Amino acid sequence: MNYLKKILKKIMPQQNYENYWKLTVEYTDIHGDRFRGTLQLITDFIDEHSGEEFSTELYSDLQDIVNQNYPKTDMGSVRKSINQFVKLGFINYHLQSYHSNTKDFLEARTNKKRNTLFSKIVYSNAKFNSGVTVNHNWSQINFLIKTLIEVGKLSKEEILALMLVDISTIEKGFINQEELNSYVSDARDIGFVERKYNQIGYLTNFLKKLDDVVFVRDELYFEEDAKRIFGEELEIPTRRRDPYMHLLYKNQLFEESELIYENHRLCMLEKLEYPVLIASHIKPFIDSNEDEAYDPNNGLLLSRTIDSLFDLKYISFSDEGEMLFSNRIAEDVKEFWQDYRLENNILNDERKNYLAYHRNLMTERDARA
């Protein structure tokens, strides 16, 4: 049993939330050819079969068309690539129709216009727990935005906690700060972030694409509020990564792993080989100057699970590599990870300086909890 299965075995019996927000997607680049191309195939198929009653045979025909144009290793991935458009609100249950702005989105000539249409569609119609053959009337983005209106800002941890809310039971369509704090406490107790990091990643990725909301120092604001609070400083924390510089930064971490461990695909904490590793910033990118942002000493190659814990300041590391835990993290998670440590051969003086910064952030986050 690998490490993730061990975590699931420890944590899953405590989970009583069956209606968490199940956002799973195949493509995250809404401007990309695969996202738009697959959506175009679906809308054409719906137009061609307008008025026909839904059937498994009809759905199977659509899957074959999508797979012919965008081949997958299995049909499960094909279905995911179709279902994501129901979850995001572009397509409706049973392939009977599509959102009134779906074709406008496909015909948009600029990314800006496409972002605006994406915002309208997901706000009005996204239902993360729905699919082609499953229908729910829970509009999660609508609920999240109304909660943001109520509380003013949402930390990443609070956004994660919102994913536990069964919004079908909340008649007012949002929750207040006191209610949100209760869900945050529940999320910590059941180790939600460690188990649902993929869905969490998808959600924050799509939130960044919405018009008029912005992440500033890992907190979500309405852009107007953020400008009033941060003023001219807003442009600094919201600057974009240089994709080529980030690639070079990650390549340097791979090279370091190859030199030290003779394997460039090892998580620097777990020493396990993963097909995907995150080049995780120690001092957050948003806080770093240009030199720090792409300094490989300001990075660690980590698995998705460890990166999530590290990014949200649930864990940090001492100068000796010992794992340090936030008081916000569940005890059984602490027990599982307590013997893991970073090795001395990656703890150079520069990394220790960055780690000191990270430890301070974790302390500050705990003090606010």
Does the structure show a pLDDT above 90 at 341?
yes
For residue 76, being part of any structural domain is answered with yes
C-alpha to C-alpha distance for 369 and 178, rounded to whole angstroms: 13
- Domain contains 219: no
pLDDT, greater one: 229 or 11: 229
Tracing tokens 């599982």 back to the chain, one arrives at 336
CA-to-CA distance for 203 and 160, rounded, in angstroms?
9
Residues present in the chain in total: 369
Q: For residue 195, how many other CB atoms are within 10 A of its CB?
A: 19
Cα angle, residue 328 at apex, residues 327 and 332 outer, rounded to 5°: 85
Does a structural domain hold residue 182? no
Check whether 14 has a pLDDT greater than 60: no
Q: Which residue has the tokens 């690998």?
A: 2
pLDDT of res. 203: 86
Give the structural domain span for 75.
Answer: 20-135
Structural domain contains residue 202: no
Residue 352 lies in a domain: yes
Q: Is the pLDDT of residue 200 over 80?
A: no
The DSSP secondary structure of 18-77, one letter per residue, reads S-------S---TTSHHHHHHHHHHHHHHHHTTTPPP-HHHHHHHHHHHHHHS--SSHHH
**What percent of the chain is predicted at pLDDT more than 90?**
57
Total domains in the fold of the chain = 2
Does the reported pTM lie above 0.95?
A: no
In a domain, 150, yes or no: no
- End-of-domain residue from the set 109, 135, 161: 135
Q: Residues 302-330: pLDDT tens digits?
A: 998 898 889 889 999 999 999 999 998 88
| Edge-to-edge strand list for the sheet holding 213-216 | 154-155, 219-222, 213-216
pLDDT of residue 244: 87
Q: Is residue 212 part of a domain?
A: no
If you count DSSP H runs as helices and E runs as strands, how many of each does the chain have, helices first?
Answer: 17, 7
- Which of 135, 154, 189 is the last residue before a domain boundary? 135
pLDDT at 301 over 70: yes
Query: Is 37 a member of any domain?
Result: yes
Give the C-alpha separation, 111 to 31, whole Å.
7
Query: Domain boundary residue among 114, 135, 156?
Result: 135
What pLDDT does 11 receive? 38
